[in-house]
Amino acid sequence: MKKILFFIPTLSGGGAEKVLVNLVNNLNREKYEVTVLTLFDTGINKKYLAKHIHYKFIFKRLFRGNTVIFRLFSPEFLARKFIGQERYDIAISFLGSPATRIIAALDDDTKKIQWIHNEYSDENEFLKCYSSKKEFIKLQNNFDRVIYVAETVKSGFHNLFPELKLSEEILYNPIDTDSIRKLSEEKSLYIKKSPIGFHIVSVGRLHPQKGYSRLLDVMSKVINMYPQVTLEILGEGELRGELEQKIKALGLQDNIKLIGYHENPYARVKSADLFICSSLHEGFSTAVTEALIVNTPVLTTDCSGMKELLGKNNEYGMIVENSESGLYEGLMNLLKNPEKLEKYKHMAQLKSDSFDLNYRMEKIEQMLDSLL
């Protein structure tokens, strides 16, 4: 049995964290002994790890400035300190953070994988965990394989670091479609609709990346013309106070609700008239994928992975310019042309058939076995 380590900052309620739990729970337990290591022992997704998965953490609580502090120490020192004498056949940094720098410093007996989830336009998003760009380039070359979750994530990384020549491939996130569909049928969690209402839902952390501040500005203009429109945002995060104040300042308390983190968002998404993603950037959006699985029409900004999900010509959902005006024009288009919503609902059902869990897990296991 081969020992595999997955290293991730936390198991919070984000999409990548959910994907990790789904991935390790579905790996062949007869072939792999799996350990999940987190920097910080926080996050709702920890409780969803299967009982046979080993779980370890380094720090009990998250502390501010950790990236800066970790940068003060060499990656070799941190690897000895945090991973110690434990030997793994494969070690995987599953989300960019100090974890990537640490995994890269393990000895040559361990095969090393970096999993990249996000497309960035600024190289500093990658370099912030490193002492210098020179160190980053050196450590990147230590990885035996680099995995991207979408073609656009791969091309974005290449654009930032064209000097790197890595062994790499694209593997789409494994999604448990059967479980999501089953949970979406919990009718007690459905949105309570009014007969004339139009109900929009979004799922994501209350974080600048998700673009919720500009979405509120868009909703203010839309609701001025269509007062029956409502929005629910399912998620928690650092911007809650700021967003609550903005909702109040715009006088939208009756139309827009911050629901907080929800363990079963699928029922509310299924019962909505539209799912909206206002993100500034994404990797391969778990939330949009899940909306398609429950056959809810999707409107999203143009960010990484969306054309792979929704088609280059908006076949399976509407992709708009990544701007406030793009969101506004797209939403108004759908409100004025409800027949498009019916089309996207039907097309979402067709698209969701392609998210086969077993096929995606088979591809991941083939990649792992190729390194052993």
CB 35 within 8 A of CB 6: yes
Tokens of 280: 């500034």
pLDDT at 122: 86
Side by side, which strands form the sheet with 198-203?
256-258, 229-234, 198-203, 274-277, 298-301, 318-320
Do 228 and 259 meet the contact criterion of CB atoms below 8 Å apart?
A: no
Q: What is the pLDDT of residue 78?
A: 93
Query: Looking up tokens 């500005």, which residue turns up?
Result: 217
Amino acid (one-letter) located at 325 = S
Domains by residue range for the chain, with CATH: 2-175+356-371 (3.40.50.2000), 178-352 (3.40.50.2000)
Question: Of 265, 218, 201, nearest to 14 (Cα)?
Answer: 265
At 244, list the tokens: 């609550």
pTM: 0.85
Residue type at 224 in one-letter notation: N
Query: Can you give the pLDDT of all 372 residues of the chain as single tens digits?
Result: 999 999 999 999 888 999 999 999 999 999 999 999 999 998 889 999 999 999 999 999 888 878 888 888 999 999 999 998 899 999 999 987 799 999 999 999 999 999 999 888 889 888 888 999 999 999 999 999 999 999 989 999 999 999 999 999 999 999 999 999 999 999 888 887 777 799 999 999 999 999 999 999 999 999 999 999 999 999 999 999 999 999 999 999 999 999 999 889 999 999 999 999 999 988 789 999 999 999 999 999 999 889 999 999 999 999 999 999 999 999 999 999 999 999 999 999 999 888 889 999 999 999 999 999
Rounded distance between C-alpha atoms, residue 294 and residue 178, angstroms: 10
Task: State residue 234 phi and psi, 5-degree precision.
Answer: -100, 115
Interatomic CA distance for residues 117 and 114, integer angstroms:
10
Provide the Cα torsion 315, 321, 327, 330; round to 10°. -40
